[in-house]
Structure 1
Amino acid sequence: MNPVSLILNILWIVTGGIWMAAAWLFAAVIMAITIIGLPWARSAFNIANYTLMPFGRTAVSRDEWDGREDLGTSPLGFLGNVIWFLLAGWWLALGHVMTAIALALTIIGIPFAWAHLKLAIISLWPIGKRIVDNEELEARARQGYRVPGTL
């Protein structure tokens, strides 16, 4: 992690990132306790980690990254995301949006508000996402591979 990302992540934690990461962790634990929710718990744990320190990393679609479809990016993954949205996604997204609004009211909080809005979108549809370091994205682009999320 480069120094700028480290500083941004520390500021992120101080300005509310820890609370949303805790919310993701709470959702993951609740899903894991139900046993039936284990597939959602895995995604929630991954996004909780990403929510704790988002700068220097990017969420990409697993099928674009791997170049093949898997269970999480198949029609079953779509169904899993619909169920996730109904059970937990909407309230996590709401938490990110509310935090983004509060941060956007300050000048210094605008970059963090933008990160919360990105996380709000992921909150709605987390299954089938992979969190990758920006260095991995850059290395893949240098090798001539298509970088997910770009044209």
Structure 2
Amino acid sequence: MGCLGNLLWFVCGGCISGLSWVLTGCLWCITIIGIPVGKQCFKFAALSFFPFGKDIAYSGGAGSFLLNVIWLLVSGFWLAVESALIGTLLCITIIGIPFGLQHFKLARLALMPFGSNVYTTF
């Protein structure tokens, strides 16, 4: 079911969400200081392209908190708004509810990506 969900997700809008993360990662990688942030964006772009069968564990310390605040002010807010709006639109229909819930998961991730780990669920 996860493979079919990922295929439908990619065709019906996951591509747009993933490309947003890739673009954000490229912009962060322009500066040397932003390269670790850009690498994190590319990791979450892969999650955004194919989110079914994966889950996110949130943890972190003071360094993650500080980096999350900078991230939120620079680019995280807009990625979260994008995912929340698309998720809301998808939840209007019964068929779109699983896709909308995935967008809400990505919106939460866009607010605090540092200190988060992605792992595969079976």
TM-score range, shorter chain: over 0.9
Give 2:28's aligned residue: 31
Give 1:60's aligned residue: 57
Structure 2 letter corresponding to 1:31: W
Structure 1 letter corresponding to 2:106: L
What does 1:1-151 align with in structure 2 at a 5 Å threshold? Answer: 4-61=1-58, 63=59, 73-135=60-122
Tell me how many residue pairs correspond in the alignment: 122
Question: Alpha-carbon deviation of 1:74?
Answer: 2.7
Structure 1 letter corresponding to 2:70: I
Structure 1 letter corresponding to 2:111: L
- The Cα offsets for residues 5-48 of structure 1, whole Å up to 9 and x where unpaired, read as 00000111122111000000101110011222112112111111
For residue 33 of structure 1, give the secondary structure of its aligned residue in structure 2: coil
* Cα RMSD after superposing both structures: 1.1
2 CA distance for matches of 1:77 and 1:105? 35
2 CA distance for matches of 1:108 and 1:13? 15
Structure ID, larger Rg:
1
Give 1:68's aligned residue: none
Runs of 4+ off more than 4 Å: none
* TM-score, normalising length: structure 1: 0.77
Gaps of 5+ in 1: 64-72, 136-151
1 CA distance for matches of 2:112 and 2:73? 11
Question: Alpha-carbon deviation of 1:105?
Answer: 2.0
